[in-house]
């Protein structure tokens, strides 16, 4: 894709590798893994392309949906890239992945992953860096690193235990156990479970809502909440008070609060 930062509705401002495609619907960006012949295995070009995309989002994007072509979300690390790696190269390779997936998790907007088929190894690590995971019934999770004689290297040792706990990750890596979509939903791997093929539509519906949130709320959720949750409780409470004061002091919050009190905003609806 050619760079096109000047267009008001640009889908992307950087040149992406052929394994990625960017599109846009209004305030929702869509980044698609487009290497189905290799089951969306993540080579370094793709990982750096993901970083580039998230660090250079076009103006006006308020949420990104990350999905994948073909029958699988991602087969993880492109194993053909690392067979001859020296130790120093292995460290550098992993650190590239860390930077890229940090750009997903701690970027400027919330990210929704649409999961189907294999969500394994580095593909699971990528999904774990997103904020909302929607799995369809075909999805399954695996960490075959244990069987390949390697270790997670894309931030999985940090993010995955926070999602599913050390015991589950330990089991998956020691035994090669995979977890199906239903169990994954029950155990918190994904927040949503939908019919096969229904992930993209659900993601676009949620993305429209998320992109319509007050920007300071989305900022607080991406950048403050995970850090507060990991801070010691007293530090966390002070951080929370500061974040709350900043959010409530924004113009956007003031007008939303007035809208509710003057009956112009919707109530909480449960269906």
**Could you give the residue numbers annotated as active site?**
125, 145
The angle subtended at Cα 189 by Cα 152 and Cα 193, nearest 5°, is: 140
Q: Binding ligand 1HE by CB under 6 A: which of 63, 109, 114, 120? A: 120
Per CB under 6 A, 41 contacts ligand 1HE = yes
153 binds ligand 1HE (CB under 6 A): yes
Find the binder of ligand 1HE among 5, 56, 80, 175 (CB under 6 A).
Answer: 80
Residue 51 binds ligand 1HE (CB under 6 A): no
Neighbours of 163 (CB within 10 A): 17
Between 34 and 108, whose beta carbon lies closer to ligand 1HE?
Answer: 34
16 forms part of the interface with ligand 1HE (CB under 6 A): no
Task: State the number of binding residues for ligand 1HE (CB under 6 A).
Answer: 23
DSSP secondary structure letter of residue 29: E
Per CB under 6 A, the list member of 29, 58, 110, 121 interacting with ligand 1HE is 121
Interactions with ligand 1HE, residue window 190-249 (CB under 6 A): none
Closest CB to ligand 1HE among 53 and 97? 97
Q: How far is the CB of 182 from ligand 1HE (least distance, A)?
A: 19
Question: DSSP class of residue 221?
Answer: I
Contact 145, 170 (CB under 8 A): no
User: Which residue of this chain has its Cβ atom nearest to ligand 1HE in the complex?
Assistant: 121
Phi, psi of 41 (to 5 degrees): -60, 140
- Residue 17 or 153: the one with the smaller Cβ distance to ligand 1HE is 153
| 29 vs 76 by CB, closer to ligand 1HE | 76
Contacting residue, 101, 145, 172, 181, with ligand 1HE by CB under 6 A: 145
- Alpha-carbon gap, residue 138 to 117, rounded angstroms: 5
Examine residue 159 and tell whether it contacts ligand 1HE (CB under 6 A).
Answer: no
User: How crowded is residue 208: how many other Cβ atoms within 10 Å of its Cβ?
Assistant: 15
Sign of CA dihedral 39, 180, 145, 198: positive
Q: Within 13 Å, how many C-alpha atoms sit on residue 79's CB side?
A: 14
Alpha carbons 91 and 93: distance in angstroms, whole number: 5
**Smallest separation (angstroms) from ligand 1HE to the CB of 48:** 13
Nearer to ligand 1HE, 75 or 115 (CB): 75
Q: Where are the alpha helices (DSSP H) in the chain?
A: 44-55, 87-105, 122-128, 145-148, 156-164, 166-175, 181-186, 199-211, 215-219, 225-230, 233-248, 251-261
Contact residues for ligand 1HE, defined by CB under 6 A? 38-39, 41, 72, 75-80, 94, 97, 118, 120-122, 144-145, 148, 150, 152-154
């Amino acid at each position: 894709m050619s760079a096109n930062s000047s267009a008001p509705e640009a889908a992307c401002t950087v040149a992406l590798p052929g394994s990625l495609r960017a599109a846009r619907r209004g305030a929702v960006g869509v980044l698609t893994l487009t290497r189905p012949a290799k089951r969306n295995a993540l080579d370094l070009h793709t990982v750096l392309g993901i970083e580039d995309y998230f660090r250079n989002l076009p103006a006006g994007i308020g949420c990104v949906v990350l999905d994948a072509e073909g029958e699988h979300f991602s087969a993880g690390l492109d194993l053909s890239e690392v067979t001859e790696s020296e130790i120093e190269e292995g460290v550098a390779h992993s650190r590239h992945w860390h930077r890229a997936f940090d750009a997903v998790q701690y970027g400027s907007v919330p990210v929704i992953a649409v999961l189907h088929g294999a969500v394994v190894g580095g593909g699971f690590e990528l999904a774990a860096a997103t904020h909302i995971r929607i799995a369809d019934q075909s999805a399954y999770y695996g960490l075959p690193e244990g069987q390949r004689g390697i270790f997670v290297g894309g931030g999985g040792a940090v993010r995955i235990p926070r999602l599913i706990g050390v015991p589950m990750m330990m089991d998956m890596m020691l035994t090669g156990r995979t977890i199906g979509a239903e169990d994954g939903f029950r155990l918190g791997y994904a927040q949503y479970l939908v019919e096969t093929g229904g992930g993209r539509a659900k993601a676009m519906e949620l993305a429209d809502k998320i992109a319509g949130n007050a920007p300071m709320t989305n900022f607080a959720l991406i950048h403050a909440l995970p850090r507060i949750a990991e801070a010691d409780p007293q530090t966390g409470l002070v951080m929370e008070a500061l974040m709350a004061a900043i959010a409530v002091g924004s113009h956007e919050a003031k007008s939303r609060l007035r809208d509710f009190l003057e009956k112009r905003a919707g109530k909480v609806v449960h269906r």
